[in-house]
Structure formats: structure tokens, C-alpha cells
Amino acid sequence: MRRGNRTRRGAFTLMETLLAVALLAALFTAATALLFQVTTLWASQSDDALLDRHVDGVDRFVRRLFAESGAARVTAPTALQTDRERAILAFTGTDAELPWVTPLVTEGGRFECRLGFDAETGLWLWWNTAGERVRGAEEAHRTRLSPWVRLAAVYRMERNGREWTELAAGETLRRTPGVLYALRLEFAHRGRVRALTLLLPAEAGVP
């Protein structure tokens, strides 16, 4: 009788062990799934915040270029700049704060710059100083403003118009009353897209 009791006791202990292992496995699976969901949610929120900060930074920088250049000095790039730099806008006589060019600007005078767009590498700032232009330097400096820009173009709206028309490469900006121009940038990062539209500065007295 005692020997039989020991057998039954041992079998019951084995069942408890198997049940405990099964429960632990289920809990571990649930915890892993929860951790994965939380991590995914955190990563997506981090990516959203990163894209927002990035777009806001580009927004502030381009607005600074607009403000300091003024309407008369925001122009269409030359044919050479369009071809070589894929430039879409040119800025002349600007003093926008660019820490990495401050020493050169101090020695070489005020600089002019262009916004260039490449579908594979993003939005670029091309620039050179007055001294370099006088010396006839062929190659301009460049700094990538954003690797996430997938579209960059300048648009025009005619007087009483309701639709924006994209400017052709190198097309002149006509400063006439009632004509508006805007720079449109589209950013894409990890499945999220955000657009930025900035009106170009207008001449004094021009609506």
C-alpha cells in the first residue's frame, strides 16, 4: 500500500511540473508579444517626433533665407546651376547664420546659395562666397539639408487663380501684382509623409 502511494504521489508531482512549464511558456509568450507591441509603438512615436523636428528645422532655415534675401534676391537659378546642381531657387546677398561657413564668409564676403533637389539624395544647399565668385571658382560648396525630401518644386498662382502651376526648370520668377510663388517640399521617413509649403517673399506693395 505504501509503495502504491509513492507511485501516485510521484505521478502527481510530474503533472504539476508539466502544468507549471506550460503556464510559464504561455506567460513568456504573452510578455514577449506585449514587449514587442510596446517597443513598436515607442519606435513609431520616436520616428514621428524625429520627422517633425527635422521638418521644423528645415522650415526655420528656409524661412530665414527668405527673410534675409528679400523678394528681389530670391530668383530662379541659372541654366548652369540648374544643370549642375539641380537648383530650384537661388538666394543672393544673404547673411543667414551658417556656422560652418562663418570663417569663409568673414574672409570672402557675402555668399549666395541655391536650393538643389536630387530625387535620390534629398535637398541640398549649394553656396559660394563673393570672393570665390570673383576668383572664378567653378565648384560650389554643398551641404545636405535633408535626406528625406522626396519632392521639391516651385509653384506659381496667377491673378485670381485657383490652382498652383509647377514652374519649369529655370523659369523666371515674374514679380507682378497678383502672382504668388511657393516652395513645396515633401518629406518621407519610414512610411510617414509630411508636406511643407512656404510662400516666397513678395515685393513691397505687391499683394
Give the three-state DSSP class for 174.
coil
pLDDT at residue 75 in the model: 86
In the predicted model, is pLDDT for residue 85 greater than 80? yes
**Strand stretches in 28-179, DSSP E:** 74-75, 87-94, 111-118, 122-129, 141-146, 149-157, 165-166
pTM: 0.68
pLDDT at residue 95 in the model: 53
Whole-Å CA distances, 45 to 41, 57, 192:
6, 18, 11
Q: pLDDT higher for 26 or 65?
A: 65
In the predicted model, is pLDDT for residue 44 greater than 90? no
pLDDT in tens, 31-41: 555 455 545 54
